[in-house]
């Protein structure tokens, strides 16, 4: 809870009044809560999807989402992102090249339901649109257990919004020594990863040269997004799903679950996480 001298809330959170009850005690206090707003994705004037997201790092979100959804082939096809606040939420008006898939959207591409914070499938209408097996990766980099431990131990320091609200997920990018280079947060785990992919792409990071850390479970959508971005190593703080394991194996992704400072489970390609000497 906040005190009267508390600093302004971090981006993506707001202060709200509440009544705190502890036993017979009742107090009027303030708390920081995470924002969750509708974010509309439009390409060359055509609506594609509405995602429930934290309204931060929206240009990264636009780029990462466009790449993850296969709406653009590379960053060069996204020419411009205009952010328009609306009464109902936020509109991301994107301009893409004529060669981009997003420039050829038709009614069959559009999602008819919002993509909620915990869901990467809302509005997808066909079964073949759900399970999209990524192409196998050529990169097979290996990493040390010690580097993974360093990254995991520092992950919380790169989650200021979660520290303030306790309500958001994180996706982080660590180098081969375990130093976290980039991190993004969002109420939706898929959105956090899209934002990270957008930031990495914008900065020219080599996706095969480091480790992806996610604060959530490793669902199959997370594996697909990572693999499509060229990421070959995923460490999830929570569990993977069976489909995530199978897709990771087929895509050449080393998938680690229950990743904690004291140990982890390696579900695919265990030889790519080197044990301590």
- Residue 137: per-residue pLDDT: 93
In a domain, 28, yes or no: no
The verdict on 97 and 167 lying in the same domain is no
- Residue 239: per-residue pLDDT: 97
CB 246 within 8 A of CB 260: no
In a domain, 90, yes or no: yes
Per-10-residue mean pLDDT, the chain, length 277: 61 94 95 96 95 97 96 97 96 98 75 50 49 80 96 97 96 98 97 98 96 96 95 97 96 97 94 86
- Residue 128: per-residue pLDDT: 47
> Does the active-site annotation cover 119?
yes
Catalytic hit among 119, 122, 254, 264:
119
In a domain, 105, yes or no: yes
The verdict on 98 and 194 lying in the same domain is no
**Residue 251: domain span:** 143-274
Of 202, 223, 177, 162, nearest to 33 (Cα)? Answer: 162
**Looking at the 3D structure of the chain, how many domains does it have?**
2
- CA–CA separation, 215 vs 125, rounded Å? 28
Identify the domain boundary among 130, 165, 191.
130
In a domain, 117, yes or no: yes
CB 70 within 8 A of CB 133: no
């Amino acid at each position: 809870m906040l005190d009267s001298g508390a600093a302004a809330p971090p981006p993506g959170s707001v202060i709200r009044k509440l009544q705190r009850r502890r036993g017979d005690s009742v107090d009027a206090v303030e708390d920081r809560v995470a924002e969750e707003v509708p974010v509309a994705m439009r390409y060359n004037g055509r609506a594609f999807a509405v995602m429930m997201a934290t309204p931060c790092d929206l240009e990264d979100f636009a780029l990462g989402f466009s790449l993850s959804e296969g709406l653009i082939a590379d960053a060069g096809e996204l020419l411009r992102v205009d952010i328009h606040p609306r009464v109902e939420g936020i509109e991301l008006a994107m301009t893409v090249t004529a060669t981009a898939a997003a420039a050829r959207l038709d009614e069959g591409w559009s999602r008819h339901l919002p993509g909620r914070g915990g869901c990467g499938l809302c509005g997808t209408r066909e079964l073949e649109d759900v399970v999209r097996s990524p192409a196998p990766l050529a990169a097979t980099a290996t990493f040390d257990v010690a580097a993974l431990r360093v990254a995991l131990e520092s992950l919380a320091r790169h989650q200021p919004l979660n520290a303030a609200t306790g309500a958001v997920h994180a996706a982080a990018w660590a180098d081969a020594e375990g130093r976290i280079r980039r991190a993004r947060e969002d109420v939706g785990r898929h959105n956090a990863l899209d934002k990270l992919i957008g930031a990495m792409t914008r900065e020219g990071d080599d996706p095969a040269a480091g480790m992806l850390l996610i604060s959530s479970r490793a669902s199959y959508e997370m594996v697909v997004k990572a693999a499509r971005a060229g990421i070959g190593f995923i460490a999830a703080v929570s569990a993977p799903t069976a489909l995530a394991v199978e897709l990771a194996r087929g895509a050449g992704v080393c998938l680690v679950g229950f990743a904690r400072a004291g140990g982890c489970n390696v579900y695919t390609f265990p030889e790519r996480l080197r044990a301590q000497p």
